[in-house]
Homo-oligomer: A and B are copies of this chain.
């Protein structure tokens, strides 16, 4: 196993590194920011990459925000960006459904468990859906619901797909509907299967905690996951940006999502940053899930070459 190259403080190596690539795919939380705190020097580093003619694409598993909502966050945090540079798992799911998944004409509807980000991206791709943030599904289950779900009278016969993403309003009613649709043969998708979600410098239930009960209830039916490290997301990124994988580098803080995503996608390179979840010891471990090609202490270390 090759040891990753440490770039921090080595301007010659940083220049060589940057020159190797045309496209940088960047994870957000743990790389660009932590929650609502942008890491110092990151906006300048992104500008440096752009000024050298590099394309930057923000690739995030967070499905609760649409690209438009992400753009607002970038702008609010003082990071110039464009909606076309943003690629989230909600968008990834929407284009997978609209362009790759061939649902029968009579079963085009998606039953959504998740937040508005998913709904907005499905709308942008003209995918019909039910569930999501609809107040009709944000409530306790009633005996009438149980009867109607059990006998099918409350189920929509046009639903051909269940899409499970992080839902701060998960409940028994939604899980019961999803179970029945899956038992009736609906395609099972997950925006992503992250076990946890970073908030307030701690860990909360991630999108995978929404699909986990569905997997268990159906006796092990596995969803197609549309977030990192799933290569379905890489295919979608490649399809949209027409990138040359050999000239593309994935930048992230997590070995099991970001770095794995880049390696399995046979990208030209992977860069780990130490401002998030994974640490040096993680890739030096015997059973490391993935080893990056390069690493820096923090993303802004790349910016040192602009200050020479």
Contact = CB atoms under 8 A, between A and B. Distances in A.
A150 B201 contact: yes
Interface stretch (A117-125, A162-170, A280-288): A162-170
Interface stretch (A55-63, A139-147, A236-244): A139-147
B172 A205 contact: yes
A147 B202 CA distance: 9
Residue among A167, A180, A183, A209 with max Cβ neighbours from chain B (10 Å) = A209
B217 A215 contact: no
Contacts of A219: 195
A287 to B, nearest CB: 14
A215 B215 CA distance: 13
B209 A195 contact: no
A203 B175 contact: no
A308 interface: no
Contacts of A179: 196, 203-205
A277 interface: no
Contacts of A167: 172
Given A168-B140, A205-B172, A147 B200 contact: yes
B183 A168 contact: no
Contacts of A199: 146, 150
A199 B175 CA distance: 14
A171 interface: yes
A80 interface: no
B170 A170 contact: yes
The 3 closest A-B pairs by CB, nearest first: A150-B200, A209-B213, A150-B202
Interface of A: 140-141, 146-147, 149-151, 167-172, 175-176, 179-180, 183, 195-196, 199-206, 208-210, 212-217, 219
